[in-house]
Chain A
Amino acid sequence: MNQAVQAAPAAKRKPKETGVPENTQYLHPTLAKNYGNWKYHDRPRPGVLHHVAHSGDEVWSVRAGTQRQMDVYTIRKLCDIADKFAEGRVRFTIRSNIEFIVSDEKKVAPLIAELEKSGFPVGGTGNSVTMIAHTQGWLHCDIPGTDASGVVKALMDELYEEFRREEMPNRVHLSTSCCEINCGGQADLAIIVQHTKPPVINHDLVANVCERPTVVARCPVAAIRPAMVNGKPSLEIDESKCMCCGACYPPCPPMQINDPEFSKLAIWVGGKNSNARGKPTFMKMVAAGLPNNPPRWPEVSAVVKRILTVYKEDARGWERLADWIDRIGWPRFFEKTGLPFTKYLIDDWRGSRYNLNASAHIRF
């Protein structure tokens, strides 16, 4: 499969191995001046952070949503706005929001007006639903079960007002992942491809394309073994063991795991990276079997919105999704969201006994 194509170097220029560049040259002057010397911050309105330094200096950071995969015209537009209103400096957040930093409060309102006029929603701070962390999908990945940018665009259209407000009980982080590797990462609410059928093997190609021992070793449940099929060395799958994770597909593309119908989407909730209150938590699967339905994935949006609506109504201040479920318990989570609790949600992977209720603690 590996198509060996050498980039023909026009001239053999040796790379300068400069590594990670210094950031001081890019810092807003007020940030550079007060580096390591900030006192506190508040949020005058959604989308704006106001930081005060021990020196008395102040900066306002205006946060706006982007599509992450940006064309050069969009980036130049953002640069024009930064040059006109924000002293020519920007930074990006981990969730692909852009921040404009100004040292003059008077510039905040015109900057916001200009951003919104240009189609960039201002928000994503505090108790908002912020931009979805996402991956590459059909646009660029070699193993995607679905798209990423399209899912995010469709969902953020639906959650647009929640991005621009701070009305959730606590911050809401979302992620999407186009295969079970879960590049999107842990989040309060995550959408991840969940395959439901074992891979379909193209036995004509395996011998030429795959390093068979590597593929055998990659399977988490030892369901793959070498076999001769139609006189050719290939691989076979014990379908009673296979749990359809797709781990064999990246090292061996002839083991096609993606299927237009049987690659479904699952929803996970309650992931949290922060140490605030409880320790960081992994998210838990709460829904599966949702159709992969481009271009707008309405069935997925409906479940996401249903969970977020109930969370918004029911959670107390400062409860992240995981904190809220800790309080109300899983039975009420499923009752309130109307999601079915099926046997597939009972963990049977290693360490699963810790996920069972070994007590008489039951809410009625």
Chain B
Amino acid sequence: MAKKLHDTPNLDQLESGPWPSFVTGLKHLAKDKDYVVDLLGQLEESYKTKKGYWKGGTVGVFGYGGGVIPRFTELKNEDGSPKFPDAAEFHTLRVMPPPGMHYDTNTLRKFCDIWEEHGSGLIAFHGQSGDIMFQGATTENVQKAFDEFNEMGFDLGGAGPAVRTSMSCVGAARCEQSCYNEAQAHRAVLNTFLDDIHRPSLPYKFKFKFSGCPNDCMNSVQRADMAVIGTWRDNIRTDEALAKKWFAKHGMDELVNDVVARCPTKAFQVKEISKIKSGEHISSVKVSDTHAVEIDNQDCVRCMHCINVMTGALAPGKDKGATVLVGGKSHLKIGGLMGTVVLPFIKLDTEEEVEKLVDFAQRTIDFFAENALEHERTGEMIERIGLANFLDAMEVEVDPAMVNSPRMNPYVRTDGWDEEVAKINAKKQAA
């Protein structure tokens, strides 16, 4: 039995209503833990005053420089003692999840037992970077909890100016749209940078995310300094039985309005069967006895829309791989940035091919470490130096797939033009 709960009239109002309540959960923990009684006390004070009361500090585990988010209370009495002394320290351990965030219940139960013993008993699945967040431990208990998680085969994630914890989608484990082995790439890349994860020493954070197809369920394009997004080069595959089944259920209106009209490059047409073209870059499939769809794959940008609507009837091709985009980030300091295409297509079928991605990631991080200003993200660095200079350093050939359009202003010195053209021609001839 823990001490008596503080009055929490504000938080109490978050116990009603149908959605699961974190307040009810905290109160359950508070039955046995003075720690959580005082946490609720401090949180109620925030609800009353509309102010936060945690400050950072330096807490870690032996051998690592990051992975723990320290929190000390700033809610003090006049004599400087904490108002809620049992929750005066409330540190979080960031632990890296397995790719795709799969668990067996045995593992989850062990997490619970460890965190009930050493921490608050509050766990978030998962934080915005993908970490399992074990929320709330005293300075003394951080090491004890980590040792036990670590013995289970789990490791701390990133915090501060470090390579951060990554996320990958469910991908090949359950999704028909998966275009590479996300889990393999995720582990191969991240586990190369363990030193940069555990000992923060980069100019600022660096995030990788892995999405198996252009639906980008990991939101990598706007959240990752390096986004690896699955795609394919050959034609969309078709399945006549499933196409006819889809059409029988949805009909011509939906085919025209939801699919044909929504194809961003008008690569998707519906035609009478006799008018369907054939050719190297054409995918077609009958949807009824009279009509078929025809996709010109050279015009297709692999947006996924038609495949999402007619899943199974249409599917990504077989020559799969990924597009790599660099420089995504959120608002601060120059405004949000989407990642931009740096590698239009790479294969990721074999270990050697995955190794090439790892090598590219390594060179990007090295360049970032050398060239970014303090607190500058990769996207900001590229904006400052220009994409062409970044590509040059990465030894990546320029490609029109990297731009929305060529430049719209004349403010560039072009006296190296002939030399560049000669280089391109020489390469063409050598190929």
Contact = CB atoms under 8 A, between A and B. Distances in A.
Interface stretch (A30-38, A104-112, A232-240, A328-336): A30-38
B265 to A, nearest CB: 10
B112 A186 contact: no
A170 to B, nearest CB: 10
Contact of A142 (B71, B109, B173): B71
Contact of B17 (A16, A135, A153, A217): A153
B102 A20 contact: no
Contacts of B18: 121, 157, 160
Contacts of A78: 108
A156 B19 contact: yes
Interface size class of B (residues with CB under 8 A): 35 or more
A16 B62 CA distance: 11
Given A83-B105, A90-B103, A295-B10, A160 B54 contact: no
Interface string A222-242: 000000000000000000000
B257 A316 contact: yes
A96 B125 contact: yes
A59 B174 CA distance: 9
Q: Interface centre among A139, A147, A317, by most B CB within 10 Å?
A: A139
B431 interface: no
A9 B398 CA distance: 51
Interface stretch (A196-204, A271-279, A304-312, A338-346): A271-279
A5 B58 contact: yes
Q: Interface centre among A68, A91, A140, by most B CB within 10 Å?
A: A140
B311 to A, nearest CB: 5
Interface string A81-125: 011000011111110101001000000000000000001110000
B312 interface: yes
Nearest to A81: B105
Interface stretch (B217-225, B388-396, B415-423): B217-225
Nearest to A294: B47
Contacts of A72: 29, 112, 115-116, 121, 123
A95 to B, nearest CB: 10
A75 B21 contact: no
B407 to A, nearest CB: 14
Given A71-B29, A142-B71, A186-B219, A79 B98 contact: no
A292 interface: yes
Interface residues of A, number: 125
A30 to B, nearest CB: 9
The A interface is mostly helix, strand or loop, or mixed, namely loop
Contact of B175 (A23, A27, A38, A68): A38
Contact of A157 (B19, B127, B194, B229): B19
Contacts of A153: 14, 17, 19, 21-23
B9 to A, nearest CB: 9
A32 B116 CA distance: 31
A333 B124 CA distance: 36
A2 B170 contact: no
Contact of B264 (A15, A277, A282, A316): A277
B375 A218 contact: yes
Contacts of B105: 79, 82-83, 88-90
B333 A247 contact: yes
Given A19-B96, A90-B103, A92-B125, A185 B330 contact: yes
B315 interface: yes
B223 A40 contact: no
Given A89-B105, A90-B104, 9 more contacts: A3-B55, A4-B58, A14-B62, A20-B97, A40-B315, A72-B112, A73-B29, A79-B112, A277-B264
22 contacts: A3-B57, A15-B64, A17-B198, A19-B96, A19-B190, A20-B166, A31-B102, A36-B178, A38-B172, A38-B178, A90-B102, A91-B102, A91-B103, A121-B20, A140-B92, A142-B55, A149-B22, A153-B19, A258-B51, A275-B301, A277-B305, A282-B336
Interface of A: 1-10, 12-23, 25-28, 31-32, 35-36, 38-42, 51-52, 59, 61, 65-76, 78-79, 82-83, 88-94, 96, 98, 101, 119-121, 133, 135-147, 149-150, 153-154, 156-157, 160, 180-186, 214, 217-218, 220, 245, 247, 253, 258, 260, 263, 271, 273-278, 280, 282, 292, 294-296, 316-318, 349-351
Instruction: Report the 5 A-B pairs with minimum CB-CB distance, sorted nearest first.
Output: A40-B312, A157-B17, A71-B25, A138-B46, A260-B50
